[in-house]
């Protein structure tokens, strides 16, 4: 049978249901598909799709999220492709849409992620599993309470040049959920910033994300030199930026991180 769906960019797609050959172009959504029980159906994914380890290792790799191999994807003959506006490049998606049904997500908030998970579950014949997953995540955040007022924070995603997560990003939303105020909330998306600007904003905390740049403790002194009064903290970027089923772990991680930074 044919099924219709409207993705989060407003594109209407039609495909054979249930899909039997799925390609995922986004790591967090790849993990979601496996957590929905679609191990047999997922036939291709990116080299950045690392969870769950026991399943992704045996799947065809179609390149990166920005430079996926269109010819390799064509050879796999998927009946459904799952992508994301931010993580995938527009020209590649347009080319794939000429040949295959492509369902695109566009995530800024937890509500967006819940809607994405429910619809991806529906169009892959895993509707009940999707509803259960979303309920589990919602309940985990319902039990998470952060103190007020929220301290200021800067969240770094890159080095050379220095780049931060600002407004209109899922990370910015999750910083609010965690309980900090982004000092770059008046900037847009992922701006480049300089140390002088950072120092002028006097953040209480500087979060160095584990991805996409792999920050580590060896970078702490570098940032302490910019802001001597700030507490520099290494954070798990997946917990702030992955908008699929990994969110099951975020609330518990936030609780532990809160204890760490308040010591």
Helix segments in 98-126, DSSP class H = 110-123
**pLDDT exceeds 90 at position 204:** yes
CA 4 distance to own-chain centroid: 25
Arithmetic mean of pLDDT, 126-149: 93
pLDDT digits (tens, 9 = 90+) for 85-113: 999 999 999 999 999 999 999 999 999 99
Instruction: Annotate 200-248 with DSSP letters as a single string.
Output: HH--SEEEEESSSS---GGGHHHHHHH-TTSEEEEE-HHHHH--STTHH
Query: Quick one: 61 and 123 in the same domain?
Result: yes
- Does residue 73 form part of some domain? yes
Q: For the whole model, what pTM was predicted? A: 0.94
Query: Quick one: 12 and 85 in the same domain?
Result: yes
**Number of compact structural domains in the chain:** 2
Domain hosting residue 17, numbered range: 2-140
What pairs with residue 167 in β-bridges? 188
Could you tell me if 182 and 154 are in contact, meaning their C-beta atoms sit under 8 angstroms apart?
A: yes
- ∠ CA 203-174-142, nearest 5°, is 120
Band (263; pLDDT cuts 50, 70, 90) = confident
Query: Quick one: 162 and 256 in the same domain?
Result: yes
pLDDT digits (tens, 9 = 90+) for 3-54: 999 999 999 999 999 999 999 999 999 999 999 999 999 999 999 999 999 9
Closest to 29 (Cα-Cα) out of 105, 96, 112: 105
- Does residue 147 form part of some domain? no
Question: Which class for 214: exposed (0-12), middle (13-18), buried (19 or more C-beta within 10 A)?
Answer: exposed
Arithmetic mean of pLDDT, 153-168: 97
- Share above pLDDT 70 across residues of the chain, in percent, rounded to a whole number: 100
Query: Quick one: 8 and 129 in the same domain?
Result: yes
Query: How confident is the model at residue 44, as a pLDDT?
Result: 97
Query: Quick one: 168 and 109 in the same domain?
Result: no
Query: Quick one: 6 and 32 in the same domain?
Result: yes
**pLDDT exceeds 80 at position 148:** no
- Does residue 145 form part of some domain? no
Under DSSP, the state recorded for 145 is -
Of 81, 114, 140, at which residue does a domain stop?
140
Of 97, 113, 140, at which residue does a domain stop?
140
């Amino acid at each position: 049978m044919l099924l219709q769906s409207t993705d989060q960019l407003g594109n209407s797609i039609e495909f054979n249901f249930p899909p039997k050959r799925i390609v995922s172009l986004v790591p967090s959504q790849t993990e979601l598909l496996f957590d929905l029980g679609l191990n047999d159906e997922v036939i291709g994914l990116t080299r950045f799709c690392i969870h769950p380890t026991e399943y992704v290792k045996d799947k065809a790799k179609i390149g990166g999220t920005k430079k996926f191999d269109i010819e390799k994807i064509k050879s796999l003959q998927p009946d459904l492709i799952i992508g994301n506006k931010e993580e995938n490049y527009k020209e590649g998606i347009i080319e794939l849409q000429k040949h295959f049904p492509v369902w695109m997500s566009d995530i800024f908030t937890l509500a967006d992620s819940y809607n994405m998970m429910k619809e991806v579950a529906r169009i892959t014949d895993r509707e009940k599993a999707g509803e259960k997953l979303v309920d589990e995540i919602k309940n985990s955040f319902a039990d998470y309470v952060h103190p007020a007022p929220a301290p200021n924070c800067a969240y770094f995603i890159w080095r050379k040049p220095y780049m931060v997560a600002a407004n209109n990003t899922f990370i910015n939303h999750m910083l609010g959920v965690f309980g900090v105020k982004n000092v770059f909330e008046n900037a847009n998306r992922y701006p480049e910033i300089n140390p002088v600007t950072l120092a002028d904003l006097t953040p209480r905390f500087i979060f160095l994300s584990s991805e996409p740049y792999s920050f580590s403790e060896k970078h702490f002194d570098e940032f302490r030199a910019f802001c001597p009064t700030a507490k520099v903290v290494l954070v798990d970027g997946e917990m702030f930026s992955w908008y699929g089923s990994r969110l099951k772990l975020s609330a518990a991680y936030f609780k532990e991180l809160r204890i760490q930074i308040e010591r």
